[in-house]
Amino acid sequence: MRNFYKNNVLLASLCALIVLLILLDAYMFRNDALLFWTSLPILVAVSGIALGKLFQIRKSEYWYFEQLTSEMRGADSMSLIGFPLPVAIVDNNGCIIWSNDCFNSSFFTPTEDESSIDLITDEPLELFNGDGREIHYDEKWYRVYSDPHEFIIDDHKSAAKAASLSEQGGERDKLTMLIFRDITDFKSLQSTHELSKPVVMVVMVDNYEELLSGAKESERAYVTIQVDRLIEEYFAEKKAVLRKISADKFLIVLEQQYLKEMIAEKMSLINKAHEIIVRDRAAVTLSIGVGTMATTLAESERFADEMLEKALDRGGDQALVKSSNGFDAYGAISPGKERTGKVKIRLAAENIKALVATADTVYIMGHSYADFDSVGSAIGLACALRNSGVSAYAVARFKDPSLTNAKPLIDRFAEYDPQVIIEPDEAKQWFTPKSVLVIVDTHIAKKVEDKELLDMADRSRLVLIDHHRLSAGAITDPAVKCHESNASSAAELVTELIQYIGGGALLKPAEAEALLAGITLDTKDFVMRSGVSTFEAAAYLKKLGADTISVKKMFDISIESKTKKAEIISSAELYHGCCSVAVVRFGFPEVRVICSQAADEMLYIEGVDAAFTVYPIEGGWSFSARSLGKVNVQVIMESIGNKKDDGGGHQSMAGAQLYGITLEDAVDKLHMAIDEYFAPTAQQDDTDDE
C-alpha cells in the first residue's frame, strides 16, 4: 500500500507524456507529412516500451498484494473488511499492510509514515497466538488473537530467493493476521469483582486476661470500651461487618479493596491500639489474622484463624496476611510481651519427663554454627537429665572449629567433663528407635546441627525447645513443644524446665555456667529482651554457683579479633539517618562472630537505631541485623531473604543469607529493604491486583 500512490502518479505522468507526444505528432501530420511518417514508428515503439516497462514494474510491486489476495481468497476476505472487530495484517517487519475499517476507527489508519504495530504494542508478535494475549491501548483493554501465515513468494525471481533463504535456514516471508477483541468491560468487571470479594479477618487483643488482671472493674470496663470503640470506628470506615465473638476477639468480614487500604497503611490499627494504656503502664496490643488467598468464605475464615495463631506464636502485636509464600507480616514494633505464668512450662516439663522415662538415651541438639545458647542449653539439659538418672548427651560439632561459634564453651566444658558433648556422627551411630531427640534453640528443620539425625528421630519421640519467633520451615508435630517467643533464650527455657523435670538442683557450677552463658549471649549481658523470668532464671543459676566472671571470660576475644571488630565498626556508614551499615569484603577466621558482635556494638553509637553487617560466607553473603527495639529488623531481614526461610529472627536481632549474588547487589538489597521499611505508608503501591 505504501508505493501504491506513487505508482499511480507514475502512470498518470506517463500517460500525459504519451498524450502530449500524440498531440505533437498530430501537429506534425498537418505541417510536415514526411517528418510525421518517419517519427511515427519511433513514437509507437517508445510509448510501447515505456508502457510495457511500467506494467512490468507494477506487476512486481504488486506481487505482495496479489499474494495477500490469494491468501484471503473467497468470501472470507470480503467479510473481513466489514468485520465488527478490528483486524490487521502485519508483515515480517511489523508493518501493518492491511487493516479493516473497525481497526482504523479503534486505533489509527495506517499511513506510509505510521504503519508500525509497535504503536499499539511493543510485545513481539511471536508471543501472540490463538489463545490471545491481553494488551492495554489508550485506556482500553484488548485481547489479541493472531493467525500467522508462512508462504513462499509466488514470483519467479523472489521464489528463487525464498528457496535459497529457506535452504540457509533463513526466515521465510510471513503475514500475521491480528484480531482485536475489546475486553475493557470484562476487565473492569473483573477488577470490581476482585476488589469487592469478601475477606475474613480476626482481630484479637493480646494477653487480654493478663493485661486486665488486678484491674478494677471500672478500669476493665474503660479499657474494653476504648478497644471496642477503636475497632468499631476503624472498621466502620472500612464498611466492614464486625462481630465481637468473645471478650477479646472480633470477627470481621470486609471487601478486598478496604483490606488493600489497610495494607497500604501498614495496618495502622495496630499502632492506634498502642495509644490505649492500661493502668498507666501496659499498652494494648492487637494480633490480626487475615484470610486472603481463599476461594470460599469458609476457607477464608480458616486461613484467618491460622494466621492469628501464627501471629500469636510470633509474639503478637502484628498482623499476618496470608500470601503465596506463607504470609506477610505487618506491625510488631512494641517490645515482646513479658512472659507471665509458668503453666505452659510446667506442662511441657511434665510431658518431657514422661517421654524421657521411656527412652534408652536422650540426645540434645542445637542449630548449626552452634552458639553459647544452643550448646549451653543442650549441656544444661543433658546434665540435669543425667542427674535424674537418664542417659543424655549434648550433640554439637566441635572438631572443626569453623563449624561452631561456641568453641570457648565447648573446650572449657570438655576439660571439665569430656563425656557430655558428642559429635553428630557418634549420635547417629548410637541412635535407636527408643532414643529421644531434643532440638534446642531452633525450630527450623534445615537449621539443625545435623539434618540426618533429625530425620532418624520419630516425631513421637521428638521434643522442641525454642525461643525464636515462628518462621517458615518449622519442624512439624513434635511430641512435646516448648516454643516461647517471649523468652530471652533457649537457656532460660531450659533453666525453667529443669526445675520441673528434676535434676536441676543438682547442677554443678560449671554446668550452670553453660546455661548462664547462653542467657548472657542472647540478652547481650541482660540488656535485650530480658524479662522478669530471665532474671529469675539467672538468679537460680547463680544460686547453683554459676560465676558471672567465668561466664564473661568465655566471651574473651583475641586482640586480632578485637582490632578487626574496631575496623568493621569504623568502616560503618549511616544509612537512612539511623541505620548503621558495615560491609566486610573479605572473610577471616571467626567472621560470623566478629560481625555479629560488631553489629551489637554499633547499636550503642549515638543516633543509631539499627545496625547491619554484611559479610562473606561460602557461596554468598550473610547479614547480621540488630536493633534496640525502635526498628523491627526481623521484617527487614525477612524482606531480604529470597524465600521467607532465608531471613528472619527476632524484631531486635535477625539475620539473612543470600547466595550467588555479588556484594554490590547484596548491599543494594539491604538498602532497598531499609528504604521499603521506612517508606511512608501513602507511597505504598495499592494498584497492584495480585
Question: Cα(384)–Cα(504) distance, rounded to whole angstroms?
Answer: 5
Question: Cα(554)–Cα(560) distance, rounded to whole angstroms?
Answer: 16
CB of 515 to Mn ion, least distance (A): 12
Query: In whole angstroms, how far apart are CA 496 and each of 89, 346, 540?
Result: 78, 9, 9
Between 106 and 377, whose beta carbon lies closer to Mn ion?
Answer: 377
CB of 465 to Mn ion, least distance (A): 10
CB of 521 to Mn ion, least distance (A): 7
Closest Cα partner for 378 from 478, 465, 508? 465
If DSSP states are collapsed to H, E and C, what string results for 513-543?
A: HHHHHHHHHHCCCCCCCCCHHHHHHHHHHHH
Between 478 and 649, whose beta carbon lies closer to Mn ion?
Answer: 649
CB 600 within 8 A of CB 629: no
CB of 491 to Mn ion, least distance (A): 7
Between 145 and 413, whose beta carbon lies closer to Mn ion?
Answer: 413
Between 284 and 494, whose beta carbon lies closer to Mn ion?
Answer: 494
Between 373 and 590, whose beta carbon lies closer to Mn ion?
Answer: 373
Looking at the DSSP assignment, which residues form a beta bridge with residue 615? 622
Between 489 and 652, whose beta carbon lies closer to Mn ion?
Answer: 489
CB 461 within 8 A of CB 355: yes
CB of 374 to Mn ion, least distance (A): 6
CB 379 within 8 A of CB 394: yes
Q: How far is CA 301 from the centre of its chain?
A: 24
CB of 492 to Mn ion, least distance (A): 9
Between 461 and 469, whose beta carbon lies closer to Mn ion?
Answer: 469
SS3 446: helix
Between 441 and 600, whose beta carbon lies closer to Mn ion?
Answer: 441
Query: In whole angstroms, how far apart are CA 153 and each of 63, 99, 480, 517, 550?
Result: 8, 21, 77, 84, 91
If DSSP states are collapsed to H, E and C, what string results for 389-416?
A: CCCEEEECCCCCHHHECCHHHHHHHHHH
Helix pair 663-678, 633-640: axis angle to 10 deg: 130
Residues 6+ apart with CB under 8 A from 529: 335, 336, 488, 522, 523, 650, 652
Between 490 and 538, whose beta carbon lies closer to Mn ion?
Answer: 490
Residues 6+ apart with CB under 8 A from 227: 205, 273, 276, 284
Q: Name the one residue in this structure whose C-alpha cell is 570438655.
A: 414
CB of 367 to Mn ion, least distance (A): 8
Q: How far is CA 45 from the centre of its chain?
A: 80
CB of 282 to Mn ion, least distance (A): 26
Between 441 and 646, whose beta carbon lies closer to Mn ion?
Answer: 441
* DSSP run (H or E) holding 349: helix 343-357
CB of 650 to Mn ion, least distance (A): 9
Interaction site with Mn ion (CB under 5 A): 373, 441, 489-490, 522
CB 330 within 8 A of CB 319: yes
Between 442 and 499, whose beta carbon lies closer to Mn ion?
Answer: 442
Q: Shortest Cβ contact with Mn ion: which residue?
A: 373
Residues 6+ apart with CB under 8 A from 68: 89, 97, 98, 175
CB of 373 to Mn ion, least distance (A): 3
CB of 483 to Mn ion, least distance (A): 12
